[in-house]
């Protein structure tokens, strides 16, 4: 199993280099748990979902606490058959979810969002969940949407994606649960995520 994300932070300000550099400090607590490598387009983070999503949450929340409009884009993946097996990506929660019926996975996901720590910053997210190599992939996707509708951070459905809104703690936990508990535990599952804060556009 290989789990990780390609993550980019986009501050809509001429001082974008400073905003990015300062937000990157939020990744420091995770450098022991994640492999982190940056190039000119994105930052690769490799490791299990708990620190992976916390790192993305804290990176984005740090930037979103400033005055500037800022967005984050992430390509998140687990189980891609083209990636090497990585012992650092062994994930207990995936193993537990394996074999559980959909309703039990939805209940566990809801409990996790309820228990998510409050980050203290309001954000918008839209994301798509993709389940590969499964004949009935839409059942898992509809099951995930059912969970999201009860999660307290569901805003609305859009073409190709789902909108969430709320505290960064609950929102990133909802996306982590979507990633962990829907689609086969050993399967190839990906998420295409956009987070936004401080947009001047009317919400």
Least Å distance, CB 97 to a copy of itself, is 20
Q: Which stretch binds a copy of itself (CB under 8 A): 68-76, 92-100, 103-111, 172-180?
A: 68-76
**Mind spelling out the 3-state secondary structure of the chain?**
CCEEEEEEEEECCCCHHHHHHHHHHHHHHHCCCCEEEECCCCEEEECCHHHHHHHHHHHHHHHHCCCCCEEEEEEEEECCCCCCCCHHHCCHHHHHHCCCCHHHHHHHHHHHHHCCCCCCCEEEEEEEEEEECCCCHHHHHHHHHHHHHCCCCEEEEECCEEEEEEEHHHHHHHHHHHHHHCCCCCCEEEEEEEEEECCCCCC
Please list every residue from 124 through 183 that binds a copy of itself, using CB under 8 A: 124, 126, 128, 130-135, 137-138, 141-142, 158-161, 163
Task: Please report whether residue 69 would count as binding a copy of itself according to CB under 8 A.
Answer: yes
Q: Which stretch binds a copy of itself (CB under 8 A): 39-47, 54-62, 93-101, 103-111?
A: 39-47
* Site residues (vs a copy of itself, CB under 8 A): 2, 4-6, 8, 10-17, 39-42, 44, 46, 69, 71, 73, 75, 77, 80-83, 124, 126, 128, 130-135, 137-138, 141-142, 158-161, 163, 188, 190, 192, 194, 196, 199-203
């Amino acid at each position: 199993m290989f789990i990780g994300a390609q993550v980019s932070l986009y501050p809509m300000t001429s001082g974008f280099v400073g905003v990015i550099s300062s937000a990157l400090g939020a990744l420091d607590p995770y450098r022991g748990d994640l492999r982190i490598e940056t190039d000119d387009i994105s930052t690769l983070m490799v490791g299990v979902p708990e620190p992976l999503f916390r790192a993305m949450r804290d990176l984005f929340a740090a930037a979103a606490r400033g005055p500037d409009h800022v967005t984050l884009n992430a390509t998140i993946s687990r189980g891609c058959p083209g990636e090497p097996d990585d012992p650092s990506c062994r994930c207990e929660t995936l193993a537990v979810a394996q074999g559980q019926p959909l309703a039990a996975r939805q209940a566990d996901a809801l409990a996790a969002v309820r228990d998510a720590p409050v980050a203290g910053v309001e954000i918008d997210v839209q994301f798509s969940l993709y389940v590969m190599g499964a004949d009935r992939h839409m059942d898992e996707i509809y099951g995930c949407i059912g969970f999201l509708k009860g999660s307290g951070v569901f805003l609305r459905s859009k073409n190709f994606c789902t909108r969430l809104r709320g505290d960064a703690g609950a929102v990133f936990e909802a996306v982590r649960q979507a990633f962990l508990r829907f689609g086969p535990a050993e399967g190839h599952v990906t998420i295409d995520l956009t987070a936004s804060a401080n947009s001047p556009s009317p919400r």
